[in-house]
Amino acid sequence: MALVLAQALVFNYIHLFGYATVLLYVYFVVMFPRNYPRWAILLWSFFLGLSADLFTNTPGMAAASLTLVGFLQPYLLELFLPREAPEKLKSAMSTLGTTKFFLLALILVWVYCLLFFTIESFGFFNWLQWLYNVVGTTALTVLVLMTVESIRR
């Protein structure tokens, strides 16, 4: 809930170059450990997205996008783990390594931004603005996630 409050009170008012906004609450879904119940990941993702929607006045967009990311997270995490990995391995830079964590975060944030901004534009009327939003927000969010994760170490 602290991530959603930080998003609503601070990060929603920061728009770099008019396109890039940090979406810090995606970090919560990226961090789910291995073998966490998938139904619980989906519920957490949906309710986190719904609370972000309530604070940011984006009806259902964050909930739908974050639920899809929550659905994909366990499958993508398995792709980046070695076969001998412990059952309750947490998805973190210290356990996955910098490159694998970066790729996992990049893919999940990109999927989130792609769906979020596609729903927001509800078409591709101004596709260049859509592209700038997706690329800028993905890059800025992944940069902040990597910074937070390196500080947490």
pLDDT band at 40 (very low <50, low <70, confident <90, very high): very high
Please check the confidence at residue 123 and state whether its pLDDT lies above 70. no
Contact present, 101 and 148 (Cβ < 8 Å) = no
The model's pLDDT over 93-115, given as tens digits with 9 standing for 90+, comes to 888 888 999 999 999 999 999 99
The model's pLDDT over 56-66, given as tens digits with 9 standing for 90+, comes to 888 899 999 99
pLDDT of residue 11: 66
pLDDT of residue 146: 93
pLDDT of residue 21: 82
Please check the confidence at residue 16 and state whether its pLDDT lies above 80. no
Whole-prediction pTM? 0.88
- Please report, rounded to a whole number, the percentage of residues in the chain having pLDDT higher than 90: 39
pLDDT band at 91 (very low <50, low <70, confident <90, very high): confident
Task: Determine the length of the chain.
Answer: 153
Closest to 73 in 3D by CA, of 46, 44, 48, 38: 38
Query: For 7, what's the count of Cα atoms within 13 Å in the CB-facing half-sphere?
Result: 24
Long-range contacts formed by 36-42: CB under 8 A, 24+ apart = 36/74, 38/71, 38/74, 41/70, 41/71, 41/73, 41/74, 42/67, 42/70, 42/71
